[in-house]
Structure 1
Amino acid sequence: MQLSKHILSQITGAEVPPASCFDLPEKVIQFGTGVLLRGLPDYYIDKANKQGIFNGRIVVVKSTGNSDTAEFENQDCLYTQCICGVQKGAQVNYNIINAAISRVLHAKSQWEAVLECAANPELQIVISNTTEVGIVYTEESIFNTPPASFPGKLLAFLYRRFEVFNGAADKGMVIVPTELIIDNGVKLKDILQQLARYNNLPEDFINWLQNSHTFCNSLVDRIVPGKPAAPFLRAIEASLGYTDDLLIMSEPYSLWAIETANSKATEMLSFALADDTVIIAPDISLYRELKLRLLNGSHTFSCGLAHLAGFVSVEESMHNEAFASFIQSLMLDEIAPAIKDASIPESKKEEFAMSVLDRFRNPFIEHKWLNITLQYSSKMAMRNVPLITSYFHRFNSVPVRMALGFAAHLLFMRCRQEEDGKWHGKVNGQAYVVNDDNAAYYAEVWQQQKRVEAVATTILSNKELWGEDLLSLSGFADKVIYFMNELMHNGVQPALYEADKQKTVM
């Protein structure tokens, strides 16, 4: 039998939502159906609803893929979250059925229905996760059906709300983007104001946007790889006694840090009371830096290297002594010292790094390295280039493991466009898809330059891509080129050995 609210009374293998959850009003509009949103923000809201705290559900806007939302509709928007791993030395393994989502609307085919949600007086919160490239300014009419960009969609929604409620101050919303960029709330607000002026929207609306809404910077941290591989999925479903097309896996660790000092916004975010790992504070920079640099940064430095080595999952790679040593040394010897925030004590960095290593070794989570390469170049620019330059200027030396990770990035991004329109790379005779907005640029450089030295210097000097000329870091390009040749001619394991032998001098 398939998961739906009609079979909840028959389920014994998972925590089941009470019937009262289905009668709760929609208080949240969420842009995105991805597993991170369902595994973290939606998890907290569901937990709060079950405790009778927040008492509100989520209407979700789907913008990607086809317009089919049947998999949600067929299950009454219910889904199972399997939480597995090790926490504080103890094995954790339990299942919950999440009832936080009320309905899913597709922006392309149901845009008017999305806009109609703006007239709901009980709607209070906007949540989004559209990847790092989602919060960007695009000059477009917000009266398109729908606008192409996420900021365009959100601005159109807020403008409809302004019109419906005649700019009432108490109908402003708390807007919490979870895209992994620094000051995501501030940047989103700036883009909306710029886009409002581009669309010649009334000054009264721009003032309402500025003064009646609370834009919160936020940080989410949980590894949510999504649906497990088919054999594991079948075993889980057999133990549960039902099938679930939306089932997701996640680790036990979770954190949602939301930055605001606004008491009204804090009150509206009452789901935070259900779990002490939702942190609402005036300053979340400590949490952001640790997560962005040590967890996400190490992922980004390692994903291309791991794929070139033939590792499929993060957990698999941690069984390789040389690779596990590389990641640990990368975090403790290079990334941690490069974190600029002086308010974070070294002991806190080490503690967080060691917890990340435990999370990487989680045997229950198949977090695929190839999935981590999504928008690889923008992640490298945003997460890791600041670490490379910070380390170089602080110690006047090249961070060896960062250079190796960057070399692997350049080799991974060697690709060509195939008949399916996608960009493909190849390693050891096996093709893989490069999901990156800059794939065409890398392909062009590799095709024109051909020689490793020319490829490296061309891409490293691209200020538009990195925000600065990385050739200005004396010795960095030479080290990257050295490791590119090492990886191409000898392979990953010898390159790991060379990086360990050279050890960064501090």
Structure 2
Amino acid sequence: MKLTKDLLTESSTLQLPEKVLQFGTGVLLRGLCDYFIDKANKQGVFNGRIVVVKSTDSGGADAFAEQDNLYTLCVRGIDKGVPTEENIICSAISRVLSAQSQWNAILETAQSSAIQVVISNTTEVGLQYVEESIRQSPPASFPAKLTAWLYERFQARQSGVVIIPTELIVGNGDKLKEIVLKLCSFNQLPTNFVEWLEKENTFCNSLVDRIVPGKPKGDALNEIQHKLGYDDELLAVAETYRLWAIQGEEKVKDVLTFATVDEGVKIAKDIEQYRELKLRMLNGTHTLMCGMAFLSGFQTVKEALADEMTEKFITNLMMSEIAPAIPYKIDAKVAQRYGRDVLDRFRNPYLDHQWISITLQYTMKMQMRNIPLLVNYYKEFSTVPQYFTRGFAAYLLFMKATKEENGKYFGEKEGVYYPIQCDSAKYFYEVWQNPKTSEVVDTVLGNQQLWGTDLRKLKGFAENVTTHLSNMMAIGVREVASALNVYA
């Protein structure tokens, strides 16, 4: 049996007007943004459904049409230390239109007075300026599609909308507005439209944070669908934690009433706090731990958190070194609360987050996420961060490539090769030709092109990294981490 509206116990939300235009059908949008709207609709708050625009015609049967645009979101995770499971049939989507074959129908939605919000997630690649005519059917790029839609709305004498891109780019709302204005100039659109665009529409910067792995496979999927009692081609799994931070003021709050039904939606004048917390405490901890955890024999994040020693190491790294070093003023209680949420997310027994996948572009991540923390830690405390130095030493050891094949580099752990998927792999392969560990550390730390600064100037950092790296090579990564916990 397939999921259709006949399985709904309450179908009143299916009659709600279309208030949102959404570019993208991906699991992040469905598992986060659409989840919030669905939750509000069911509580009688937002009372509006979503018209979804997909970029291409899908081959074969369309799962959205076959399932009356319904899908199941299976929420799995740990909330305040307690395992949680919830299965939700989401009914927020009213219809899905193809930009390739239904462009006129998409433009017709611009004439609706009910539409108030535009959401997008077209990946970072989708948020780029492409010099093209908006009069194509359809325009190729997402910003050109949006510009065409907004111009149609202006000509229909409709009110402006709140536009919220969720692509993972800092200042995504500002970026999208900049591109739209450039397209207005290229297409020689009238001045009064540009004035309407700027005065009557609000482009919001936003930050999204929820792990949505999507549809499981094999036995895991069969088990879920057996419990549900129906098949669902659009089924998606999502973690419990959720955050959609939107930069805006009262006007935005008045429109986005769905924010009132879930604490995961944050509307604020400044969302930088949320970005810094995620970048440093979630992403930064991942980056400092991935090499160490992998070389210690752990395959997944949850495996590492199940180990008492490693859990203590990660907790101390995050709470005592990363949190107080965030280069942005954040209340200590807020940071500690966020840290506890992160640890719950790391422990999630339903997610198989591979450490090796987190090492992708290891050096770039270290530079962006962690080096500002290191520099600020020294500025604040003028001492060596002991957990950080061990994480950095493990990073250097992970980057020790011992084999090169067709331009690809591999490290070696207990006789087994692993891929080093980093743009700096060749550089480290050459640096590690030097057998002297102290000179390897000195060369890498002094590379200002990598780090933007000379890390050798940080008192005691090079010496500590060298000691830990030498010990890791001699007795093992896990043993070096364990020693710190013993004496901490």
TM-score bucket (shorter structure) = 0.7 to 0.9
Letter paired with 1:494? E
Among 267, 276, 281, the residue aligned to 1:280: 267
Shift of the alpha carbon at 1:256? 2.6
- Residue 492 of structure 1 pairs with residue 483 of structure 2: no
What is aligned with 2:282?
295
Higher Rg = 2
Among 211, 217, 242, the residue aligned to 2:199: 211
1:190/1:165 CA distance change after superposition, 3 Å: closer
1:461/1:260 CA distance change after superposition, 3 Å: farther
Alignment of 1:75-114 (within 5 A): 75-88=67-80, 90-104=82-96, 109=100, 112=103
What is aligned with 1:43?
35
Shift of the alpha carbon at 1:48? 1.5
- Residue 394 of structure 1 pairs with residue 377 of structure 2: no
Among 229, 234, 238, the residue aligned to 2:226: 238
Q: Alignment RMSD, CA only?
A: 4.2
Q: Deviations over 1:190-242 (max 9, x none)?
A: 45445655676655454443322212233334343334453333222221112
What is aligned with 2:20?
28
**Equivalent-residue separation in structure 1 for 2:151 and 2:292 (angstroms):** 52
Equivalent pair of 1:177/1:185 in contact (CA under 8 Å): yes
What is aligned with 1:312?
299
Shift of the alpha carbon at 1:334? 0.9
What is aligned with 1:12?
none
Bigger shift: 353-362 or 458-467? Answer: 458-467
What is aligned with 1:346?
332
Letter paired with 1:325? K
Q: Deviations over 1:116-163 (max 9, x none)?
A: 3663524332223456x4586556446588777xxx522x12321243
Alignment of 1:151-190 (within 5 A): 152-154=141-143, 156-166=144-154, 170-180=158-168, 182-190=170-178
**Equivalent-residue separation in structure 2 for 1:196 and 1:407 (angstroms):** 51
Shift of the alpha carbon at 1:95? 0.9
Equivalent pair of 2:292/2:478 in contact (CA under 8 Å): no
Shift of the alpha carbon at 1:111? 8.5
1:498/1:58 CA distance change after superposition, 3 Å: farther
Q: Percent of pairs identical after alignment?
A: 46
Q: How many residues get paired?
A: 480
Letter paired with 1:35? V
**Equivalent-residue separation in structure 2 for 1:481 and 1:305 (angstroms):** 15
Shift of the alpha carbon at 1:80? 1.6
Equivalent pair of 2:399/2:411 in contact (CA under 8 Å): no
Partner SS for 1:84: strand
- Residue 57 of structure 1 pairs with residue 46 of structure 2: no
- Residue 116 of structure 1 pairs with residue 107 of structure 2: yes
What is aligned with 1:270?
257
1:196/1:166 CA distance change after superposition, 3 Å: closer
**Equivalent-residue separation in structure 2 for 1:298 and 1:65 (angstroms):** 40
Partner SS for 1:165: helix
Q: What TM-score comes out, normalization by structure 2 length?
A: 0.80
**Equivalent-residue separation in structure 2 for 1:200 and 1:461 (angstroms):** 51
Equivalent pair of 2:76/2:239 in contact (CA under 8 Å): yes
Q: Unaligned regions of 5+ residues in structure 1, if any?
A: 10-15
Among 358, 375, 394, the residue aligned to 2:344: 358
Shift of the alpha carbon at 1:70? 3.9
Bigger shift: 196-205 or 80-89? Answer: 196-205
Letter paired with 1:101? I
Partner SS for 2:424: helix
Partner SS for 1:386: helix
1:251/1:212 CA distance change after superposition, 3 Å: same
Letter paired with 2:339? A
Partner SS for 1:257: strand
Equivalent pair of 1:322/1:493 in contact (CA under 8 Å): no
Equivalent pair of 1:32/1:130 in contact (CA under 8 Å): yes
**Equivalent-residue separation in structure 1 for 2:174 and 2:198 (angstroms):** 11
Partner SS for 1:126: strand
Partner SS for 1:40: helix
Among 195, 203, 214, the residue aligned to 1:226: 214
Equivalent pair of 1:167/1:208 in contact (CA under 8 Å): no
Q: Deviations over 1:371-413 (max 9, x none)?
A: 5456655544443332222223222344343344445556666
Shift of the alpha carbon at 1:34? 3.7
Shift of the alpha carbon at 1:347? 3.0
Bigger shift: 86-95 or 387-396? Answer: 86-95
Shift of the alpha carbon at 1:74? 4.3
Letter paired with 2:107? E
Bigger shift: 365-374 or 351-360? Answer: 365-374
1:400/1:59 CA distance change after superposition, 3 Å: farther
Partner SS for 2:244: strand
Q: Unaligned regions of 5+ residues in structure 2, if any?
A: none
